[in-house]
């Protein structure tokens, strides 16, 4: 049987049938179809431009720390703060509210955040609460034009004057800490519970904290720090002005013992 198959294949090769065929017969006389037109090349695409990725919370805090640490003067710190875009509050604020007053006097007051008037003007404590604060300071021989320096924990007004979120405060705190270092105060006065919570990390209510001396490390020394009532609170609760007055009397005695203010103004 195998010899018969081999004999048949040899005969087919000698007859010229030397290529395989398909199951259907092939018409070799039919005209070949024209070749398909080449597909046009796809137009070159412009390189994609990616929008900058938004700063994550950790990135925003890290960039704030780097920017604050690079400042060696208050002017440099203010420029770094105004260039910083890591806090969403800046997008809705009119101005960056840095500080007001004279740092050389050695008396630093820290409030919470700018309000409507502060956002409009670009300075802290310029509304009704600021006017009351000026009267309170004058009672102990202080004036922001000569020997007192004022700033806030938050540098941009929160919408509708809401409390700043922990993330917003964390993004501003590196600038505040550097602000305190560069201002080099002899006494710090904290205005209200929000300032106390973020500056010294104490969450007790301001009625419990006020009137108690605390300390804040600046470089290699400890600076006396007094929490007291916020002027905006005193506008709502005028009967408590007597408590703030007691706190300021204690501040006045502390300033005398330290030889402050440094400008030599009478206290």
Per-residue pLDDT tens for 121-164?
999 999 999 999 999 999 999 999 999 999 999 999 999 999 89
4, pLDDT greater than 70: no
Candidates 162, 174, 172, 195; CA nearest to 87 is 172
Neighbours of 129 (CB within 10 A): 22
Q: Is residue 128 part of a domain?
A: yes
Q: Is residue 172 part of a domain?
A: yes
Average pLDDT, the chain: 87
Contact assessment for residue 97 and residue 115, using Cβ atoms and an 8 Å cutoff: no
Task: Look up the domain containing 152 and give its range.
Answer: 58-258
How far is 180 from 204, CA to CA, in rounded Å? 22
Read off the CATH number of the domain in which 94 is found.
Answer: 3.40.470.10
Contact assessment for residue 211 and residue 247, using Cβ atoms and an 8 Å cutoff: yes
How far is 94 from 92, CA to CA, in rounded Å? 7
- The confidence score (pLDDT) of residue 45 equals 59
- The confidence score (pLDDT) of residue 150 equals 98
Q: Is residue 186 part of a domain?
A: yes
- The confidence score (pLDDT) of residue 262 equals 80
253, pLDDT greater than 50: yes
- The confidence score (pLDDT) of residue 265 equals 43
**Residue 176 CA neighbour count, 13 Å, CB half:** 29
Candidates 193, 194, 195, 183; CA nearest to 223 is 183
Convert the pLDDT of each residue in 176-212 to its tens digit: 999 999 999 999 999 999 999 999 999 999 999 999 9
Q: Is residue 32 part of a domain?
A: no
Q: Would you put residue 93 in left (φ > 0), alpha (ψ -120 to 50) or beta?
A: beta
Convert the pLDDT of each residue in 31-82 to its tens digit: 556 666 666 555 555 555 444 445 566 699 999 999 999 999 999 999 999 9
- The confidence score (pLDDT) of residue 241 equals 97
Residue 17 CB-density burial (10 A; 0-12 exposed, 13-18 middle, 19+ buried): exposed
How far is 138 from 201, CA to CA, in rounded Å? 29
Q: Is residue 21 part of a domain?
A: no
DSSP 32: P
Q: Is residue 177 part of a domain?
A: yes
Q: What percent of the chain clears pLDDT 90, i.e. is strictly above it?
A: 75
Q: Is residue 229 part of a domain?
A: yes
Global pTM reads 0.78
Contact assessment for residue 82 and residue 90, using Cβ atoms and an 8 Å cutoff: no
DSSP 229: -
Number of domains in the chain: 1
- Cβ neighbors of 262 (< 8 A, separation 6 or more) are 104, 105, 106, 147, 186
Cis peptide before 261 (omega within 30 of 0): yes
Q: Is residue 77 part of a domain?
A: yes
């Amino acid at each position: 049987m195998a010899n018969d198959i081999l004999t048949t294949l040899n005969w087919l090769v000698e007859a010229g049938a030397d290529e395989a065929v398909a199951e259907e017969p092939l018409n070799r006389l039919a005209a070949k179809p024209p070749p398909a037109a080449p597909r046009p090349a796809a137009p070159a695409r412009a390189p994609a431009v990616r929008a900058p990725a938004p700063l994550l919370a950790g990135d925003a805090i890290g960039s704030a720390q780097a920017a604050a640490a690079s400042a060696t003067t208050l002017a440099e710190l203010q420029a770094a703060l105004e260039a910083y875009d890591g806090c969403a509050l800046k997008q809705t604020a009119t101005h960056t509210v840095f500080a007001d007053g004279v740092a050389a006097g050695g008396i630093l007051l820290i409030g919470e955040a700018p309000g409507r008037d502060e956002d409009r003007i670009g300075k802290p404590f310029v509304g009704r609460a600021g006017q009351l604060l000026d009267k309170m300071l004058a009672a102990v021989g202080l004036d922001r034009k000569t020997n007192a320096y004022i700033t806030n924990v938050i540098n941009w007004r929160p919408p509708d004057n809401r409390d700043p979120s922990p993330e917003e405060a964390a993004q501003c705190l590196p600038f505040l800490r550097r602000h305190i270092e560069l201002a080099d105060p002899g006494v710090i006065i904290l205005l209200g519970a929000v300032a106390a919570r973020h500056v010294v990390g104490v969450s007790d209510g301001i009625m419990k904290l006020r009137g108690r001396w605390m300390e804040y490390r600046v470089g290699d020394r400890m600076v006396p720090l007094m929490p007291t009532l916020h002027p905006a609170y005193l506008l709502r609760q005028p009967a408590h002005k007597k408590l703030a007055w007691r706190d300021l009397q204690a501040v006045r005695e502390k300033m005398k013992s330290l030889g402050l203010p440094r400008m030599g103004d009478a206290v």
